[in-house]
A and B are shown apart, each in its own frame.
Chain A
Amino acid sequence: EDQVTQSPEALRLQEGESSSLNCSYTVSGLRGLFWYRQDPGKGPEFLFTLYSAGEEKEKERLKATLTKKESFLHITAPKPEDSATYLCGGKGSNYKLTFGKGTLLTVNP
């Protein structure tokens, strides 16, 4: 069975303090590793898809990377508006997208 584990469960940062979120996965026949952002009371919002080890993608202060076992979401100089829950999901050969429990990020001004 596919598994995705995210750490830490919660992370508090000061504005401008860079850090990384981890996503470990065991997904049979990985077809894509997905990162989403979710704000309270809303549906997840797509951030990135990574398809192969070594791939990197960037968007504003966020950068996602992928190895054969893990993905990292690097946040550079975060701002309070980056506060949200970040979800990682792996889509396997059966095209089922399995998510981790998420990392709740709080950025204090």
Chain B
Amino acid sequence: NAGVMQNPRHLVRRRGQEARLRCSPMKGHSHVYWYRQLPEEGLKFMVYLQKENIIDESGMPKERFSAEFPKEGPSILRIQQVVRGDSAAYFCASGGQEYEKLFFGSGTQLSVL
């Protein structure tokens, strides 16, 4: 049973470009969370999704950021018109039920030049 798969592992973008981060949850999991982590900081919650629904996006910046978890395929975190401040590690986690533990992917390191 494969774990949570995130790709790409590293992503380099120039200012103004778009970044698309993908997350395939563990088989059978229908809950996906996205977190952002800066050096020496904890994990900052961004968004919680279930299949085809955004449950809580209180941690997402109001502009340029969006997330989806379609009926088929991976969850996508999309950042439009990236700026240097978007450089960070982005982690995805999945779970089977709301109260259960989350399994994390290896993360995508986004670098904005």
The residues of A with any CB-CB pair to B shorter than 8 Å are 6, 31-32, 34, 36, 42-46, 49, 87, 89, 91, 94-102
Closest chain-B Cβ to A65's Cβ sits at a distance in Å of 18
CA distance A94 to B56 in the complex (A): 8
List CB contacts (< 8 Å) of B81-107 with chain A.
91, 93, 98-107
Contact, CB under 8 Å: B42 / A46: no
Residues of the A chain whose Cβ atoms lie less than 8 Å from the Cβ of B45:
96-99
User: Which of B98, B101, B106 is close to A34, meaning CB atoms less than 8 Å apart?
Assistant: B101
- Chain B residue, CB-CB nearest to A47: B101
CA distance A100 to B44 in the complex (A): 9
Known: A31-B99, A95-B99, A102-B42. A43 touches B91 (CB 8 A): yes
Contact, CB under 8 Å: A101 / B101: no
Contact, CB under 8 Å: A44 / B104: yes
Residues of the B chain whose Cβ atoms lie less than 8 Å from the Cβ of A87:
42-43
Closest chain-A Cβ to B33's Cβ sits at a distance in Å of 7
- Chain B residue, CB-CB nearest to A101: B42
User: Which of B41, B56, B91, B106 is close to A96, meaning CB atoms less than 8 Å apart?
Assistant: B56
CA distance A91 to B93 in the complex (A): 14
- Chain B residue, CB-CB nearest to A9: B40
Contact, CB under 8 Å: B101 / A99: no
Contact, CB under 8 Å: A95 / B43: no
Contact, CB under 8 Å: B42 / A45: no
